[in-house]
Chain A
Amino acid sequence: MAVIIYAESDNNTYKKSSLEAITYGKDLANKLGTSTIAISMGTVGPQNLGTYGADVHIHCTDNSLSSFNPQTFANTISTLANNNSGDVFVISQTYNGKSIAPLLAVKQDAALVTGIVDIAETEGAFTVKKTAFSSKAIAHVELTANKKVLSIIPNSYKIEENGTEVSTTEQQVGSASANTTIVSTHKETGKIPLTEAELVVSAGRGLKGAENWHMVEDLANALGAATACSKPVSDMEWRPHSEHVGQTGITIKPNLYIAAGISGAIQHLAGVGSSKVICVINTDPEAPFFKAADYGIVGDAFEVLPRLLKRVKEVKGI
């Protein structure tokens, strides 16, 4: 028995959500009375995974793992699990994680639950909580198979850094070559990816036009936040599609979500409603978003956003 965690890295550093997954895996292993094995591929990060709860760290050095392919990555994790009697898998639900988890579940003949937001209940039935109905509900799901693949939503679990350092074992697993070819990759540089952001500043049709987005970007930059937008804003191409949050866009769960000039339609809330602190700025006191907010300002975004920016700069001394 062992809990296997996939430690994903990008740009030579482990993803924050992978470190969350390792702490999650460690807490789960403690409940199950077993230990954790973290598996990394391709590049490694500078962090020591033991700090976050890995008891063993295996790094796979096969050439075939230098770029992402769901099949080779899932194969590698599956092979290592077989060699080390792993039976519970913890994967962070990044884009890559989403592709790996189902393949792994079939390979391992395991029960699969995605969208998990909390630690598993292990006394009696093995049960996890997952989002359902586009974040409008939470389902308690019982996993009845012996093996289990758990996919955890980023920013759902708090990282603990009180583990002891471990050494990294390098291994070649001999994974088959990829069954898809990457032709090209395009990444936004210098921007905080929305899916990983802890702070998000977002705006909607109330901002009136693309030319006014500097107010949103300036505030986001000062805060160290990512920017997001409502669906009509990306439909009208005021903002790139990658910023569209909601039921048909990205689902995010940041610690702070500031929404200016967004009405708060149910489809928008479906993507942002589980943010920890929600602040709403809207000229209309009846805007539905206020009902889902922690803090609200009835006012004109064109006046309020610059005032917020000024204050952030004062507070941060920038």
Chain B
Amino acid sequence: MKILVCVSVVPDTTTKITFTDNDTVFNRSGVQFIMNPYDELSLTRALELTETTGGSVTVITIGEADTDPIIRKALAMGATDAIRVDASPKDGMYVAAQIAEQAKEYDLVFTGRESIDYNGGQVQGLVAEMLQWPLINVATQIDLENNEVVASRDIDGGREVVKSSLPCVISAQKDLCEPRIPNMRGIMMARSKPLNVVAATDKYDYTKVSKYELPPAKSGVKMIDAENAEQLIDILHNEEKLF
């Protein structure tokens, strides 16, 4: 079983978002970068699966050299080796094309449900279609049975269990597992594991961000005395007309 785990590198969840160059570029200065939380889950599950059934886990990141510390973290968590496609990710389509290019030899491709910076939720579906493989999206449970994948996935207002043959693409949703924390031995071993840097294939240039803005700020909170809490309901009913 060879699993390819896609890992994106994103700003820490507490980051205050600001922009430079006339609001056209995300301001990276002083920002701490982390492994996308959903990718931490898919990587952990991939490691658990190969530890029981045998096989290898390769991590892939589309990014520049500054993503290497996060890739090393993935190796320290237990991944066998890593690929970095040396490019600045342009958009989902571009990233997916790079992943699809590298994925053909694998049995499974794991991604996160979405990356918490671009919030596209795109890459998994794009990769699946580029490879003509089945897609299991937002999976909360992933198991292997008789060379098939059995997964639980979120749907509107519930969950469903789906089965797929291999190869296929699966994206991870929270609840899949507890993210693994690298231990000292893992960190030491990660240093000598292969991190192969490959060049990007220049496909797709279909979107570009022309500007960023911050969401409109609230005009200020109107406080209501706890003694007159009922007033809130009257306002919501009469003024806001919400029900």
Contacts and interface: CB of A to CB of B under 8 A. Distances in A.
A99 B224 CA distance: 43
A286 B65 CA distance: 42
A183 B152 CA distance: 9
B162 A294 contact: no
Contacts of B191: none
Interface in B96-139: 96, 116-126, 128-130, 134-138
Interface string A155-172: 000000000000000000
B138 A308 contact: no
Interface string A101-129: 11101110011111100000000010100
A103 B209 contact: no
Task: Tell me what chain B mostly uses at the interface: helix, strand, loop, or mixed.
Answer: mixed
Interface in B195-222: 205-215, 218-219, 221-222
Given A248-B174, A299-B229, A133 B116 contact: yes
B210 A273 contact: no
Interface residues of A, number: 97
B175 A103 contact: no
B63 interface: no
A145 B219 CA distance: 38
A185 B218 CA distance: 40
B206 A112 contact: yes
Interface in B142-170: 150, 154-165, 168
B212 A139 contact: yes
A138 B234 CA distance: 33
Contact of A144 (B26, B208, B230, B232): B208
A95 B154 contact: yes
A150 to B, nearest CB: 11
Interface of A: 10, 15, 68, 70-71, 74, 94-96, 98-103, 105-107, 110-115, 125, 127, 130-145, 179-188, 191, 193, 195-196, 198-199, 223-224, 241-242, 244, 247-249, 255-256, 266-267, 270, 273-274, 277-280, 290-300, 303-304, 307-308, 310-312, 315-316
27 contacts: A95-B154, A98-B138, A100-B125, A102-B96, A107-B129, A112-B122, A112-B206, A114-B120, A136-B214, A137-B213, A138-B214, A139-B211, A141-B210, A145-B207, A179-B134, A223-B243, A247-B37, A256-B242, A270-B13, A294-B219, A296-B221, A296-B224, A297-B226, A300-B226, A308-B230, A308-B233, A316-B243
Interface of B: 11, 13-15, 17, 19, 26, 37-38, 92-93, 96, 116-126, 128-130, 134-138, 140, 150, 154-165, 168, 174-175, 205-215, 218-219, 221-226, 229-230, 232-237, 240, 242-243
